[in-house]
């Protein structure tokens, strides 16, 4: 398969029950991978945008976490209700501004963003 123009990395890390950091998997991220793959395929862009299961993105506190590259944005608190918006945005080279989070004290990002509600 060719290298894709855009990637969605979905953290599917799972920690033991009761772990203080929690994990994205316990917040439903495993279902997000399948749902995003299906949503991208339904839009006919699976050969352009790839949804991939990922290990911990070190954004545990805002999980379920999804990183979109090359826009270099992190989405937080993602649920299945957000899948269509994420797929629509990724398919068109935009981001879902309402889901974008930034590391505490960190920069807003170093790449210009086009936004889509």
68 is an interface residue for ligand FES by CB under 6 A: no
Buried b / exposed e over 3-34, threshold 16 CB at 10 Å, is ebebbbbbbbbeeeeeeeebbbbbbebbebbe
Angle 69-76-8 from CA coordinates, rounded to 5°? 25
Q: How many residues bind ligand FES (CB under 6 A)?
A: 11
Based on C-alpha coordinates, what's the Rg of the chain? Answer: 14
Q: What are phi and psi of 31, to 5 degrees?
A: -70, -25
Of the ranges 37-45, 58-66, 86-94, 103-111, which one interacts with ligand FES (CB under 6 A)?
Answer: 58-66
- What minimum distance in Å lies between the beta carbon of 95 and ligand FES? 18
10 is an interface residue for ligand FES by CB under 6 A: no
By CB under 6 A, name the one of 32, 36, 45, 59 that touches ligand FES: 59
11 is an interface residue for ligand FES by CB under 6 A: yes
65 is an interface residue for ligand FES by CB under 6 A: yes
Instruction: State how beta strands 6-11 and 49-54 pair.
Output: parallel
Contact residues toward ligand FES (CB under 6 A) are 11, 13, 23-24, 56-60, 63, 65
């Amino acid at each position: 398969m060719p290298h894709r123009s855009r990637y969605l990395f979905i953290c599917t890390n799972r920690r033991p029950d009761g772990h203080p950091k929690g994990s994205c998997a316990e917040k439903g991220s495993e279902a997000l991978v399948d749902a995003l793959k299906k949503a991208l395929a339904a839009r006919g862009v699976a050969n352009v945008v790839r949804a991939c299961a990922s290990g911990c993105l070190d954004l545990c506190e805002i999980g379920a976490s999804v990183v979109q590259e090359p826009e270099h944005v992190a989405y937080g608190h993602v649920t299945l209700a957000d899948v269509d918006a994420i797929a629509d945005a990724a398919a068109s080279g935009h981001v879902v501004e309402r889901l974008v989070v930034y590391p505490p004290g960190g920069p807003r990002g170093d790449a210009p963003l086009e936004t889509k509600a």
